[in-house]
A = this chain, B = another copy of it.
Amino acid sequence: MTDDHIMTIREMCDAFDVTPRTLRFYEAKELLFPIREGQKRLFTKRDRARLKLILRGKRFGFSLEEIRQLLDLYHMGDQQQTQLARTYEIAQQRLSDMEAQRDELNQAIDELKEQMRWGEKMLASMDQNKRAAE
């Protein structure tokens, strides 16, 4: 299977469109744990899964630290009752944050549109004045 394929840092970068720096940075932040064969890093299926979650987390607006905590909870032991519930809590919190953010954004958009209607009228009247002056 290509499933347990072990990848070099370059393969990872190409596969996920990130830089080597990013992968090393994530390792330093304990988000990834590639195998160290000699000097080189080797990334397994596990790392790919984690990276996939990391990138998704970033799309969701989680910070790397939050993502690390979520990954820790996720890949931890077997009494995941409280853990998973906690994960769920964090995600729920994040969700309401995001919805609030969206609402703010919508409001800002509305205000800006209002401003721009103003600008339109301005432009139109100035255009008239301009033609009247010719």
Which chain A residues have a beta carbon within 8 Å of chain B's beta carbons? 56, 59-61, 80-81, 84-85, 87-88, 91-92, 94-95, 98-99, 101-102, 104-106, 108-109, 111-113, 115-116, 119-120, 122-123, 126-127, 130
Contacts of A95 in B (CB 8 A): 109, 112-113, 116
**Which of B88, B105, B115 contacts A105 (CB under 8 A)?**
B105
**Which of B80, B92, B115, B127 contacts A116 (CB under 8 A)?**
B92
Contacts of A130 in B (CB 8 A): 81
Contacts of A113 in B (CB 8 A): 95
B84 touches A112 (CB 8 A): no
In the complex, the 6 A-B pairs of residues with the closest C-beta atoms, listed nearest first: A88-B119, A102-B105, A60-B108, A98-B109, A60-B112, A95-B112
B88 touches A123 (CB 8 A): yes
Contacts of A101 in B (CB 8 A): 105
A115-B99 contact in complex given A81-B130, A108-B60, C-beta closer than 8 Å = no
Bound together, the chains give a CA A59 to CA B115 distance in angstroms of 13
B60 touches A126 (CB 8 A): no
Bound together, the chains give a CA A98 to CA B56 distance in angstroms of 21
Contacts of A105 in B (CB 8 A): 61, 98, 101-102, 105
